[in-house]
Structure 1
């Protein structure tokens, strides 16, 4: 009687992915690979159908984990205006002394991102008074951005589309099924139920990116003065947004030169 051996399937995760950021973050040496790792460069190798393997990193809620020239790196990233015109990040605010809040939403079809966009719109007069440029970026194509801008509504001149998630990669924002649906940080959404309900009054699922893998992307919020990163927040899970009061407080403490 012949014994047939069936090889075990490779131990990979098809749903969770994290960014390779060794070139963008300080002290980001990869740990030793675990047993059966398929890539010695990664402590945890995770594969997806559309993205390259990425390495698990700690949350970056301070600027110390970013390389000093992160502003230059982000500045060379090209995204799209809601109108469809391409634009570089470095052309969105004064790269010498200008202060900007860069809010990266998850994707344009995320109800929690409609809530965040609504809060950003309400806070915009305060940012304007403080001389701060608001830059809101979402995952999806420009036509998806226009859906949010028209139906929420939201000022289209502050809204940008990053369909390839290039800025999200550069800033090391989280990505994956667990982060999107099962992270404990997402429970804070329930404390904002009324504001969420109000924000999605005119919501439509048509704003969701055609690339469905994009719905697993998490967002974050960053404060820059020129090219200098002053404050960094990475959402741990869906709805884990930065406090806009804290963000405005950071902006107001920026010394005037």
Structure 2
């Protein structure tokens, strides 16, 4: 297996996504040229693969180079319980320690409440295999504590990344583009909420219903751009990246069986 080195509202108005008070000047480029300019390279590569987005995940670490993985170690995030800053590389033993790192969308995403619930239920199996569970979400520590209290979810496994620094380093999908016009917003919303991969959540309706029993919208980040962030799942052994998966759409989470196959083959005692 190849390895790499590691050295408030859910339905905001379109205008709330715009960082400028005045709109950009209309472009005279044809629509096809506009689309090419609006879609970042990682999105264009995915689209060029046609109807088989699974090709992006042909290998356990597909799409991730050593530069991005090395940079992740220097990213600082916040401990949910205290708000204290901590570096990624200090979260687990960098020699032989095993860690499952789940990057949630944001703390107000009900699909992420479901993922957090599944991870919580799987924690005994992770523990028995000596694997540390690390869940990171977009938002402030106080938003993270809402999820932890109401789901509930173990606070000692939960971290906040309000500035999406880890997400940017790993190139996880986001719906905000450099050109802030109607066409750019359309592609951003489509990538986030109307991607075919997002339909997978409907097959888990019972699990979702259970997870959101105590859900509250107040866990949503104040930064409305954060609701367009996608997450991902990663498995490390020391400094080696063993498994990496970007979520293609909202609710498109990594199959837990894949995670177990990589790091948790020891049965629960």
- 1:232 has 2:244 as partner: yes
TM-score by length of 1: 0.78
Give ranges in structure 1 of 5+ residues lacking alignment: 1-7, 13-33, 38-42, 47-52
Aligned-partner SS, 2:102: strand
Structure 1 residue 10: deviation in Å? 2.5
Alignment correspondent of 1:125: 124
Map 1:163-202; keep pairs closer than 5 Å: 163-176=162-175, 177-202=189-214
Which structure would you say has the larger RCO, counting Cα contacts within 8 Å and 6 or more residues apart? 2
- 1:215 has 2:227 as partner: yes
Q: List 4+ stretches of structure 1 deviating above 2 A.
A: 34-37, 43-46, 53-62, 68-72
Tell whether the 8 Å contact from 1:69 to 1:227 is kept in structure 2 after alignment.
no
Measure the CA separation in 1 of the matches of 2:107 and 2:212.
12
Measure the CA separation in 2 of the matches of 1:185 and 1:157.
31
Alignment correspondent of 1:77: 75
Alignment correspondent of 1:9: 26
Q: 1:129 to 1:253 in 2, by over 3 A?
A: closer
Measure the CA separation in 1 of the matches of 2:195 and 2:213.
26
Give ranges in structure 2 of 5+ residues lacking alignment: 1-24, 47-52, 176-188
Question: When you count helix as a share of all residues, which structure comes out higher?
Answer: 2
Alignment correspondent of 1:49: none
Measure the CA separation in 2 of the matches of 1:188 and 1:172.
22
Q: 1:11 to 1:182 in 2, by over 3 A?
A: farther
Tell whether the 8 Å contact from 2:62 to 2:244 is kept in structure 1 after alignment.
no
Measure the CA separation in 2 of the matches of 1:221 and 1:215.
18
Larger Cα-atom Rg: 1
Measure the CA separation in 1 of the matches of 2:195 and 2:170.
20
- 1:160 has 2:181 as partner: no
Q: 1:54 to 1:167 in 2, by over 3 A?
A: farther
**Size of the alignment, in residue pairs?**
216
TM-score by length of 2: 0.74
